Amino acid sequence: MQEKIIILDFGSQTTQLIGRRVRELSTYCEIIPYNKFPYDDKSVIGVILSGSPFSVYDEKAFKTELDRLRTHYPLLGICYGAQLMAYEAGGSVEPAPSREYGRAILTEVNHNDPLLKDIEVGSQVWMSHGDTITSLPENFKIIASTKEVAIAAYHVEGEKTWGVQFHPEVFHSTCGTQLLKNFVVGICGASQSWSAESFIESTVAALREQLGDDKVVLGLSGGVDSSVAAVLLNRAIGKNLTCIFVDHGMLRKNEFRNVLHDYECLGLNVIGVDASARFFKELEGVTDPERKRKIIGKGFIDVFDEEAHKIKDVKWLAQGTIYPDCIESLSITGMVIKSHHNVGGLPEKMNLKLCEPLRLLFKDEVRAVGRSLGMPEHLIKRHPFPGPGLAVRILGDITPEKVSVLQDADDIFIQGLRDWGLYDKVWQAGVILLPVQSVGVMGDERTYERAVALRAVTSTDAMTADWAHLPYEFLAKVSNDIINQVRGVNRVCYDISSKPPSTIEWE
Ligand code: XMP
């Protein structure tokens, strides 16, 4: 049985980060809403309680049945999790005189406590709370303090229960990884056997069992997730997997051909469908971004459905959904919001069973699995690219001619990033065709042509992003090349907006 750590989510921004840190310890974990603990699951070896936007004394605060957890599992409460355990056992939690936020230094450490093994006085931790524990119940003992926070960490005597008011999961807690390791490995006894290879082995076996001789279809997008899902399924069921790669005409320059070639080299059974004419027709004259998205989304489903129906006896639809798409995120009202699947609407329309072999993986784990499966680095490190493609990078209406201009400019930018060794340093990049013409001069002639904007951002999850500080020399070269080589463009701008308040895509 796959041993696991459960992270009980009380709504903190950093809950996913706890999950990632535990996985980095080669230990499988699942993030579960605070009120859905899997009491029947015999493979749970320890539980971490997350932080929360609430105060423990708020009427609406998220509560869980602590008496069914304490003494039943090794427990680590982080921030709100620590406060909740102390409060419910009779301790006091009150608003801190001033919000305790930012770096702090451990001034007292009980080295005999297993949670604090190899953690030194002077270690940096990260605090972020408005409340603080002001008194502990009787059998709760302080095991670490900072100058401002006397009860930085506690242990409950006679139990495997701990609480920390700082956040070991964030990068700024320099002793955080050691502390989590002490809990997960030292206290819970995790065997640290979760790896890309072990995942592939167990998933291939499980897919063979689940799918038997059934036929499966999968929509490839050229992106990392669907590609890795396809290669994994191919290993499990070979030719019973048919992949469909739809060209809606809004892909990058030569992308359809190149990616199709990559897929064929990987031994995938793939059908490439050039449906661009149909999409251009439906998009004619459409300027509203959301309508563009809807038309492309629906068109994709129709084309995919038509192709899938040409294959006899298909029973399953496979998708490259990954863990962050599936974690049920908690809203502040306590409602559980289920996130959407990659290709919204497709499973319902096709009446097929859904197979999502990557649904438990974080993005970096998907890449590690891809590497272990022998996929080429350029496929694995590919930047994210929006489903509607260049359609949302052409402001205003779309014509084949505009797509072609944008593809040429985009190709120069992306190839330039690769040539200058910058491609892997940015999260994603692209060119936007603006609905603006401006005056220029080329040779002796006055020109009146289009302007484009270059967009390149750094990010870790696309939720927030900063504009990439690319070297001026590089921008100058790209600008020059675009203006000289792409007919119809005489001006290049660089987008220096961050997200928020801007977004990565312009539409
Ligand atoms: P924004 O523009 O919201 O983008 O900052 C965040 C990330 O999502 C991608 N994106 C999309 N992906 N369909 C997709 O599959 C879409 O309609 C879409 N819109 C934005 C965007 O490229 C970035 O990675």
List, for residues 126-168, the tens digit of each pLDDT value: 998 889 999 999 999 999 999 999 999 999 999 999 999 999 9
Question: How far, in Å, is the centroid of ligand 1 from the Cα of 505?
Answer: 6
| Residue 213 maps to a domain | yes
Question: How far, in Å, is the centroid of ligand 1 from the Cα of 9?
Answer: 26
Is the domain of 150 the same as that of 233? no
Is the domain of 248 the same as that of 169? no
The CA distance from 219 to 317, in Å, is 8
Residue 333 above 90 pLDDT?
no
Is the domain of 436 the same as that of 368? no
pLDDT band at 345 (very low <50, low <70, confident <90, very high): low
Is the domain of 256 the same as that of 292? yes
Residue from 300, 383, 505, 507 whose mutation best tests the ligand 1 pocket (most atoms within 8 A of CB): 505
Q: Clarify whether 111 is annotated catalytic.
A: no
Is the domain of 340 the same as that of 471? no
386 lines ligand 1 (CB under 6 A): yes
Q: Clarify whether 493 is annotated catalytic.
A: no
From the CB of residue 505, how many other CB atoms can be counted at a distance below 10 Å? 15
Q: Identify the domain boundary among 351, 380, 409.
A: 380
The CA distance from 62 to 348, in Å, is 33
Mean of all residue pLDDT scores within the chain: 93
CA 375, 380, 382, 384 torsion-angle sign: positive
Is the domain of 248 the same as that of 332? yes
The CA distance from 395 to 288, in Å, is 9
Indicate the pTM of the whole model.
0.83
Total domains in the chain come to 3
Is the domain of 223 the same as that of 310? yes
Is the domain of 113 the same as that of 262? no
Is the domain of 159 the same as that of 204? no
Specify the CATH number for the domain of residue 331. Answer: 3.40.50.620
- Domain of residue 406 covers 399-494
Question: Bridge-partner residues for 316, per DSSP?
Answer: 216, 353
Is the domain of 210 the same as that of 325? yes
| Residue 464 maps to a domain | yes
Three-state SS annotation for 337-403: ECCCCCCCCHHHHHCCEEECCCCCCCHHHHHHHHHHCCCCHHHHCCCCCCCCHHHHHECCCCCHHHH
Residue 21 above 80 pLDDT?
yes
Model pLDDT for residues 403-434, shown as the tens digit of each residue: 999 999 999 999 999 999 999 999 999 999 99
Specify the CATH number for the domain of residue 469. Answer: 3.30.300.10
Model pLDDT for residues 423-469, shown as the tens digit of each residue: 999 999 999 999 999 999 988 889 999 999 999 999 987 878 999 99
In what helix (H) or strand (E) does residue 106 lie, and over which residues does it extend?
strand 92-109
Provide mean pLDDT across the span 309-316. Answer: 93
Least confident of 86-90, 307-311, 407-411: 307-311
The CA distance from 152 to 106, in Å, is 8
Which of 3, 169, 365, 507 does the annotation list as catalytic? 169
Residue 326 above 90 pLDDT?
no
Model pLDDT for residues 369-382, shown as the tens digit of each residue: 999 999 999 999 99
